[in-house]
Amino acid sequence: MTDLTQGKESRLILRFTVPMLIGNVFQQAAQIVNMAIVGNFVGADAMAAVGASFHIMFALIALVMGIGIGGTAVISQYFGARRYNMVKRASDTMLVFLTAAGVLLGGIGVIFARSVLRLTKVPDNLLDDAQTFLTINMFGLFAMFGYNAVSASLRGIGDSVRPLYFLFIATALNLALDLLFVVVLDLGIRGVAWATFISFCISFVLSLVYLNARHELLKFTFRNLSFDGGIFAQALRIGLPSGFQQTFVALGGLALVSIVNGMGVEVMTAYTVASRIDTFISMPAMNFSAALSAFTGQNLAAKNYARINRGLYGTLVMSSAVCLAMMAAVVVGGEDIMKFFVKESEQGYELIVATGKEYLVIVCSFYIVFSSMFVINGLLRGAGATLTPMFVTLFSLWLVRLPIAYVLSEYTDMGASGVWWAIPMGWSIGFFGVLIYYFSGKWKNKGVI
């Protein structure tokens, strides 16, 4: 447990961020290696099928995970106010809700997997593989949600180290099982999906064992597990806007994928690879945002507004420095990065590499804008001010990015380039929107304490 209301702001936030960043970089690096395994041992079509399934999974889980974010804000604010009995009740409530939601959504995902894949214009030759991958992952959704509930509770009380251990174990196991199932046993895309399922289940079990063995504040038993309706209502008030925001982002991603899917398998494959690299590069911004969210929650309960502002400015400086370094690496080495994922003998090899490189150069050149927007959003989430950022996100995505992507790709000769340019245009509008709201100061009155 870490008290984030005392000590040098930037140092605390950096110390809180580093374990999360290491874990997520490790996880994303393993996912990138997984993509390379799929691309080199199964084929580009399988890689495109995995990419098509990923966005559908995100859309299914976004709303529930947004409520989980609300739960983290509630836990951090109770912890900052030293109301430890409420921290325990809030943690139990989030664990019960997220695990049950994982079971329910997993069942829905299995039933409607093929229909949703058809809705997003997945080509017929990729449909069976995409459905297989999506269905198996839906079975494991309860474990993914449960693990995230435990991690969110630990982060709410200032502990970002223990979730890192569980993430290391899950990721290393996932990678080892991928090599076994795909390279040795030749199970193809089914092997990739089962590797993910098994690794998340084991990680969830280990996280529960840890809570019971080592953590008195969050320790639980199934007999005494509680669900507090009042705390859940607080989490809903804060989390539902974030959940709707993430859901509409996910649906916007599906709409973007539908545009990309109509451009052929080569562009689909390039987008799958490049967007996964894009996710890897976005990790620092997301982790700094999560750290600032916990920092804000604890300090808001203590009414340390000047401290929150100093934390924001320090976080913006740190996240921007990391972004500049990663942007330079991607812009210079984009072509070599793409070649790592695609066999030279693959049909359409040159088009896949060129299209993916173009995406990386265009999108990653604007990563400071994305990073700054995400960091400010982290402060607002920690304060419980999630409604206005939701509307800003909806506007920037649905009224800026998607219309521009459609117009530039369909009515100009830009093609896929038009889709790529629409992404940073949407980020820019979103950044200015949340920046204006931050300076308004209205977020200071949104806490639960």
HEC secondary structure over the chain: CCCCCCCCHHHHHHHHHHHHHHHHHHHHHHHHHHHHHHHHHCCHHHHHHHHHHHHHHHHHHHHHHHHHHHHHHHHHHHHHCCCHHHHHHHHHHHHHHHHHHHHHHHHHHHHHHHHHHHHCCCCHHHHHHHHHHHHHHHHCHHHHHHHHHHHHHHHHCCCCCHHHHHHHHHHHHHHHHHHHHHHHCCCCHHHHHHHHHHHHHHHHHHHHHHHHHHCCCCCCCCCCCCCCHHHHHHHHHHHHHHHHHHHHHHHHHHHHHHHHHCCCHHHHHHHHHHHHHHHHHHHHHHHHHHHHHHHHHHHHHCCCHHHHHHHHHHHHHHHHHHHHHHHHHHHHHHHHHHHCCCCCCCCCHHHHHHHHHHHHHHHHCCHHHHHHHHHHHHHHHHHCCCHHHHHHHHHHHHHHHHHHHHHHHHCCCCCHHHHHHHHHHHHHHHHHHHHHHHHHCHHHHCCCC
Q: Which residues lie closer than 8 Å to 154 by C-beta, 6 or more apart?
A: 160, 162, 163, 218
Q: Full-prediction pTM beyond 0.75?
A: no
Q: What is the pLDDT of residue 35?
A: 67
Q: What is the pLDDT of residue 47?
A: 67
Letter for the amino acid at 377?
Answer: N
Phi, psi of 222 (to 5 degrees): -60, -30
Q: Which residues lie closer than 8 Å to 166 by C-beta, 6 or more apart?
A: 147, 150, 151, 203, 206, 207, 210
| Euclidean distance between CA atoms 14 and 318, whole angstroms | 8
Q: Which residues lie closer than 8 Å to 36 by C-beta, 6 or more apart?
A: 340, 341
Letter for the amino acid at 334?
Answer: G
Question: Which of these, 193, 165, 166, 164, lies nearest to 178 by C-alpha position?
Answer: 193
Q: What is the pLDDT of residue 235?
A: 78
Q: What is the pLDDT of residue 51?
A: 67
For tokens 């997984």, name the residue.
34
206, with CB counted inside 10 A (0-12, 13-18, 19+), is middle
For the chain, which residues score pLDDT lower than 70?
A: 1-4, 23-24, 26-36, 39-52, 54-55, 58-60, 120, 160, 216, 220-224, 343, 345-346, 446-449
Start-to-end CA span in the chain (Å): 20
Q: What is the pLDDT of residue 175?
A: 81
Handedness of CA 403, 404, 408, 409 (dihedral sign): negative
